[in-house]
Structure 1
Amino acid sequence: MKIISTNIAKPKTIIWNGNKVVTGIYKTPTNQSIFLGKSDVKGDEITDRKNHGGEFKACYIFSENQYSYWKNLYPDLDWKWGMFGENITVSGLNENEIFIGDIYKVGNALVQVTQPREPCFKLGYKFGNQNVLKQFIAHGFPGTYVRIIEEGYVKSGDEFKLVERPEKSLTTAQLFKLLFDKDKNKSHIDLAINNNALPQRKRNKLKSFLS
């Protein structure tokens, strides 16, 4: 995987169900290095700290390889890197080949794959169609959040180099499917709830499906 673009956002106010909502999903390319901190990307706007940022969602990564699929569905949008709210756009990210708990060296930082992105209404608002949420889930390539083990700067051209892979884990694609499937794969639940790269709250929620 190689970084194609680094993206950050300034706060933007939208109107949702008659209420003002401030969002940081409108990210645009920076053309410079960005600093990956323990809880967020320095200089990036995070307004909803309950659902974004923090240890397990410090930085969001999405694949440039998926852009052509979405451009075909939404050709009239103003397309640029960062369209999905990702801090880092990369080439070669395949959710079927990266595992929850994978540790990568990239730039001066050391990062760990934590969890796939679960889309919310803000993505639908940006795309002008809330149906994009169902399409995003069905497509199955959500990108991934990472935890920052060692803080540092990253820039376009930097490559992700695998440092460590857990002995027992599931892929980002498998976890994404598990989160939304009505009939959940019990063996995948077992792998997820014993993986400390996932936040305890998410592990507890998945564990409830075993009872």
Structure 2
Amino acid sequence: MSETARILDLYVGSPAHRWEGKEPSAIGKTRVDGPVEVTRTGLKGDRQADTAVHGGPEMALHHYPSEHHDHWRTAFPDLAEIYRPGGFGENLSSEGFTEKDLCIGDIFSAGAARLQISQGRQPCWKLNLHTGNPAQAASFQKTGRTGWYFRVLEEGTLRAGDTLSLVERPCPDWNLREVILARFNPRLDSSVAKALSQLEVLTASWRAAFARKVDPDFREDPSARLQG
């Protein structure tokens, strides 16, 4: 298991009207060179269209591991050329670890900043339109290859080539990939849902989602989120 990764590139973007009849999105991002300031709400110059589901202190940075691109090229060979760092609207692309190597709440030194994993990505229909693959969001969710969000514990600067190093693991029993898969599991065990609903390092929105799953009769319909 790797506890370090190298930042390949950093990306920022601004909301834009990209699809007729749809709300704006900032999923299209551009690579930035040199040191970039990291604030409590993310990279300087990066903005979000809907801060209710993206951005803010609890979801300040989205991280996507480059290791997953080979999987997507194999799964969707006709779209192979789009699967590259920065292609999913992430802020950080890395090489070194994936969700299966990490835990919710892991804390990293990153350049001059300190970051903490707060939740996985909850894919939506914008990912389908951005990639031109109507199955992309659902495939993210099914495989757990969603990437994750960081909250910023200490502001600083980041640049491509910096190392992300694990410095603290407060929740070793909660593997990140397993928590992501649990979030989208319609038949999640109630005891697991209850425990995750009380895990303070998780974002409030994911704790609330797990709290709903404690009820064995609860059924979540993700179709609107995944299909638009």
Task: Give the structure-2-normalised TM-score.
Answer: 0.84
Deviations 1:125-161 (A, max 9, x none): 0111321111111222111100000011111111111
What are the ranges of 5 or more consecutive residues in structure 2 without an aligned counterpart? 216-228
For the pair 1:154 / 2:158, whether they are aligned, the reply is yes
What are the ranges of 5 or more consecutive residues in structure 1 without an aligned counterpart? none
Matched residue of 1:175: which SS? helix
Structure 1 CA distance for aligned equivalents of residues 47 and 204 of structure 2? 25
What does residue 109 of structure 1 align with?
113
Contact 1:103 1:110 (8 Å CA) reproduced: yes
| Matched ranges for 1:156-171 at <5 A | 156-167=160-171, 169-171=173-175
Deviations 1:10-33 (A, max 9, x none): 332122xx5242211011221322
For the pair 1:202 / 2:202, whether they are aligned, the reply is no
Q: What is the aligned length? A: 209
Runs of 4+ aligned residues of structure 1 deviating over 4 Å after TM superposition are 77-80
Amino acid at match of 2:72: W
Q: How high is the sequence identity, in percent, across the aligned residues?
A: 27
For the pair 1:122 / 2:126, whether they are aligned, the reply is yes
Question: Residues 190 and 97 of structure 1: is their aligned pair in 2 closer, same or farther, counting only changes over 3 Å?
Answer: farther
Deviations 1:94-115 (A, max 9, x none): 2112111111111010000010
For the aligned residue pairs, the C-alpha RMSD in angstroms reads 1.8
My pick for the range that moved more, 194-203 or 118-127, is: 194-203
Amino acid at match of 2:63: I
Q: CA deviation at 1:192?
A: 1.8
Amino acid at match of 1:5: D
What does residue 60 of structure 1 align with?
62
Matched residue of 1:22: which SS? coil
Structure 2 CA distance for aligned equivalents of residues 94 and 181 of structure 1? 20
Matched residue of 1:83: which SS? coil
Contact 1:24 1:45 (8 Å CA) reproduced: yes
Task: Give the structure-1-normalised TM-score.
Answer: 0.91
What does residue 49 of structure 2 align with?
47
Structure 2 CA distance for aligned equivalents of residues 190 and 103 of structure 1? 24
| Matched ranges for 1:1-211 at <5 A | 1-15=5-19, 18-72=20-74, 73-76=76-79, 77-167=81-171, 169-211=173-215
